Amino acid sequence: MLNWDYFTLLDSLTIARSRRHIEKYYNVNAIGSFPTRLKPINIKETIDAKDEFPPLEKINNEILRLRLAVYSPMQYILPHKRAIYNEKYDTKVANGRIFKQTDRENNLVYLMKSNLLKRLESSIHSFSLTLENIIHQIDSHIQKIDQYDPKNETIGDINDIDMEDPDLEDALIGSKVKIFIKDMDLIRWKQDLLYDREILAKLLAQARRITPDRDKKLLALKKVIQNKIENPINGQNKKLLIFTAFADTAKYLYENLHEWIYRQFGLHSAVVTGSDHPKTTLKMKKVDFNNVLMNFSPISKERAKVMPEMKEEIDILIATDCISEGQNLQDCDYLVNYDIHWNPVRIIQRFGRIDRIGSKNERIQLVNFWPSLELDEYINLVNRVKDRMTILDISSTGEENVIADNSNEMKDLEYRRKQLEKLQNEVIDLEDISGNISLTDFTLDDFRMDLLNFMKEHKEAVEKAPLGLFSITVNKNEKLKDEIKPGVIFCLKQIDHVTSSNEQNALHPYYLVYVREDGTVLYNHVHVKKILDLYRSLCNGKKEVERDLYEAFYQETKNGKDMGQYKALLEKAVEDIVGKIDQQITLNIFSLGNLDSLVTNANTSLQDFEIISYLIIKG
């Protein structure tokens, strides 16, 4: 339904090929195959080796109790001052609706509660740091309230003064959204800040007791590392890639693993995040992002050409999702998700770093660390955060719930549950995700590269080729037996291409149409990518004609004199194109434009097209 200008832009900026796409349409015998995916290993561990830390359910109940007043100061503005601040900070959007600053704060509180749960699932260390940060913010606000001088109440209205005046710093709270302390219900706000602080301090005291030697999840990861190194799945390959969603967790893992790994196994490790400088135990001239990855996967990164003097390698790499896309790390055969990302696409992208053509490994393994609950129970914990926020939102504003309307993440909890559940049993592809559209459905870079390579040797022949060339082939790809049927793929060109049909045709004024033998249009010009994929699978790499097919064809058509069957199929192809053009013109009539030209251009017929080439597909 989108204009093809969008896909033209997409095509010019992206290169996308999924594993399934390559296996289906490419000759893997020529370019190399993918490694075999072993069944995922799933690990569920509690937090504390001594089992003294409260269970997730109890921690979640404490998180639910939080008011997080430090993130919602607008809720504490004195009643007679609220209209002034609403006018200043509320945003008017389309259809006369208003997006209130109080709604933004409610969303922030909800996100912070969800984030606390996700940080706890990632690592107890990450959870502790978040608690410390919130407590620090609360303390600074309480200090500001305690140091507030009532004399500042003589300051004028918020709309009458310069909010950036440094002399007013002590009289204001907030950075982007600034509020006069004198305009707030300080007794109630401080009361709620202290209430939050008490809960957070209790949680922090419990979390701090979990030292690395008591961190059961960290201890389980050590067992995974040791087992991988002592029992490699491909020869003596000891490489292992560990992903986590949070930089705090990545640094925590490196700090508590790198010395143990080198001392116990004599192997080098490294950490890469998007926020800090990489670290590694391997001595290098320059420790940066690219050098660390090159020394972790020296074969795929062709290190010998750049660093011929380097002999040692990095075997254990800890990283955040800053490397989950666009990196070739297939020297590695073992990937650990130390925490599970909500988005299943992210997990697939992570595994795609080692699940690549050209891998030297026969097998690859995925290990997933899950919360110490059943997936349904964990989803319910997250859902309860949303439900509690819904109650608070309605009770405070009396209006429809903003979170329920705008939080797509919460709306598709059931969808994510199903996908995450599937990931426990198998490694899924992007195409397996319900409702997902892959970029490989739209980008044409494969065919552009094929053309460029072909033109290097055959440019003159292509330029001098007459119109109406044809070829005959048969499908030998079992994977495509349900998609390729006997028929003809026509490539046509609209001679006087005045009709603006390019909105639905990426190749305008050229048209590709795949017609079955019985006259049914299997794929029309709207499905350019699909037809080209099938065409490529049928023809790419073939240099010899299939003589038996041609002999049968000439016998069938009396040496090309009786082409009635193929003319009928051509007419069906043109009818379909014309029908789609007329349909588009009809739709365009109801949009802005020149009505006279639209009506004039509607008379499109068979005579408006010429045959560039056609491919006959036999059964």
Round to whole Å and give the CA distance between 349 and 184: 47
Q: Of 343, 316, 319, 313, whose CA–CA distance to 229 is shortest?
A: 316
Q: Is the pLDDT of residue 139 over 90?
A: yes
Q: Of 609, 488, 608, whose CA–CA distance to 557 is shortest?
A: 488
Sequence-ordered alpha helix ranges (H) in 465-563: 528-539, 547-556
Instruction: Quote the pLDDT of residue 519.
Output: 92
pTM of the full predicted structure? Answer: 0.70
Contacts of 119 (CB under 8 A, 6+ apart): 126, 127, 129, 130, 246, 248
The mean pLDDT of 524-542, rounded to a whole number, is 87
- The CA R_g of the chain, rounded to the nearest whole Å, is 32
Q: Of 212, 196, 321, whose CA–CA distance to 257 is shortest?
A: 212
Round to whole Å and give the CA distance between 381 and 376: 9
Sequence-ordered alpha helix ranges (H) in 90-123: 101-122
pLDDT band at 272 (very low <50, low <70, confident <90, very high): very high
H helix count then E strand count, the chain: 22, 17
Instruction: Quote the pLDDT of residue 410.
Output: 45
Q: Of 95, 111, 101, whose CA–CA distance to 74 is shortest?
A: 101
Which is more confident, 531 or 398?
Answer: 531
pLDDT tens digits for range 201-245: 999 999 999 999 999 999 999 999 999 999 999 999 999 999 999
pLDDT band at 11 (very low <50, low <70, confident <90, very high): low
Round to whole Å and give the CA distance between 610 and 406: 51
If you average pLDDT over every residue of the chain, what do you get? 82
Q: Which residues of 259-284 are buried (b: 16+ CB within 10 A; e: fewer)?
A: eebeeebebbbbbbbeeeebbbbbeb
Round to whole Å and give the CA distance between 615 and 491: 9
Give the torsion through C-alpha atoms of 107, 109, 114, 116, to 10 deg. Answer: 150
pLDDT tens digits for range 276-319: 899 999 999 899 999 999 999 999 999 999 999 999 999 999 99
Q: What is the maximal distance between C-alpha atoms in the chain?
A: 106
Instruction: Quote the pLDDT of residue 259.
Output: 97
